[in-house]
Amino acid sequence: MDELLGVAARTVAFALEAGATEADATVTTAQRFSTEARAATVAKLEQSTGHALTVRAFVDGAKATLSTTDLSTDSVRALVREIVESARFVERDPLAGIPLTVEQPTPGDALEIYFAEVAARDPAQKIADAQAMEAATRAYDARIDNSSGSRVSDASITVALANSNGFAGAYRATSVLRATSPIARDGANRRNASYGSAARGYADLESVESIAREAARRAVEMCGARKPGTMRLPVIFERDVAAAVLGDVFGALSAANVANGNSFLVGRIGDRIGSDHVTILDDGLLRRGLGTSPFDAEGTPTRTTTVFERGVLRTYLYDTYYGRKLGSASTGNAAGGSIGPNNFYLAPGTGTFDELIASTARGILVLDTIGFSTESVTGTYSRGARGMMIENGEPTYAIDEFTIAGHLPTMLAAIDAVASDLRFDGAIVSPSFRVAEMTVSGQ
């Protein structure tokens, strides 16, 4: 990390020498491994080590950005001169620039986001895990005779950032994934399903056996699926699908979209939008979180931000530029030229997923969505879906080829129950939740 910090600091010094008024430099190294098994074959095997340098140079409010993989001193000097010269041809923006203040971030080690055993793990074991998942899904049921692959991947990265206002910081992080995607034969149809587990280290992953069993169960339970009628009724979003809904909400909370008028939440700070069940947080300091880091892409320390509190919108999410544009401080959400999530999630409830289903006399459990159709300005939401019909508090039969539609503000206001099944396996996650009523378009 010290070596990378040295490269970043020298790059910033070169930029100032070349005429930049402000600059920052980010150096990243990454060791990556990925393998995929299909049937008895290892279909994919990749391993790489790479590094990159990204430089932002500002000349009196005019910004230019370039990246390189050549970290030699002469190459970096030449790159920096090119960046500074390019900035002179860019329109000035008085809001552009790096953070003015330097804050000390939480040490990376305290966040438990790096595990040395990831890089040290024998590649043969990772390949064996992928093959074992593939075999276990096929052994679950004779109808599972194909797959889209069983995958194991991991990464170990180091990030170092320095800027001309005196910030210098670095951290290490790891991530790991096991996932499988079986295909079940259902007459002339094929039923696809996927399930996986992601974490910072292998010890926190679900086992090969449990991942294979859950993925296979999801594929088999969709056999015999039928198209439901058109109706309005309660809809339960299973946690993985719920996370996708929350992703649409995140887009509306991005200060970049708010500033450009591309959000249904423009001008709504302080308004009640969701139900009392809707408390949404963005937490960059969550221990072992996959979105956790000591600081964001601009060197602003990450933090815990309450975005919705019992349905009331408290804040948007900002980087430095859009914080200045909208008159607010950065929330530590800068992400390489955009605004991104740290660990963005809906706070869990107290009841289990099974209890959520049992409390629904009649409704639909959505297990997967297809396609994309969310209109950001109005919040109009529409997705193709498949899942289970719920009758008398129990899943009774599989359904597919239907569409669920609504309006995101209305959906947030109609969330009447949230389960406790939250797991932090991504940057945007959610427990399962129920919307009291939505339109389902089928037969």
Q: Where are the domains of the chain?
A: 2-221, 231-441
Residue 40 pLDDT? 86
Q: Quick one: CA dihedral 431, 432, 437, 442, positive or negative?
A: positive
Strand pairing report for 428-429 and 344-346? parallel
Distance CA 241, CA 235 (A): 12
Residue 121 pLDDT? 96
Q: What share of the chain is helix, strand, coil (3-state, %, to 5)?
A: 25, 40, 35
Instruction: Measure CA 345 to chain center.
Output: 10
**Using one digit for the tens of pLDDT, what is the confidence trace for 97-129?**
999 988 888 888 899 999 999 999 999 999 999
Residue 239 pLDDT? 96
Q: Would you identify the CATH topology of the domain 2-221?
A: PmbA/TldD fold (3.30.2290)
Residue 336 pLDDT? 85
Tokens of 158: 């180091």
The list of the chain residues with pLDDT below 70 reads none
The DSSP secondary-structure symbol of 349 reads: -
- Hey, which bits of 262-393 come out as E strands? 280-283, 304-309, 312-313, 344-346, 362-370, 374-375, 380-391
**Using one digit for the tens of pLDDT, what is the confidence trace for 56-97?**
999 999 999 999 999 999 999 999 999 999 998 999 999 999
pTM: 0.95
SS (H, E, C) 323-373: HHHHCCCCCCCECCCCECCCCEEECCCCECHHHHHHCCCEEEEEEEEECCC
Q: If we measure between CA atoms, which residue out of 206, 198, 244, 184 comes closest to residue 367?
A: 244
Residue 335 pLDDT? 96
Q: Can you state the angle between helices 123-140 and 208-221, rounded to 10 degrees?
A: 30
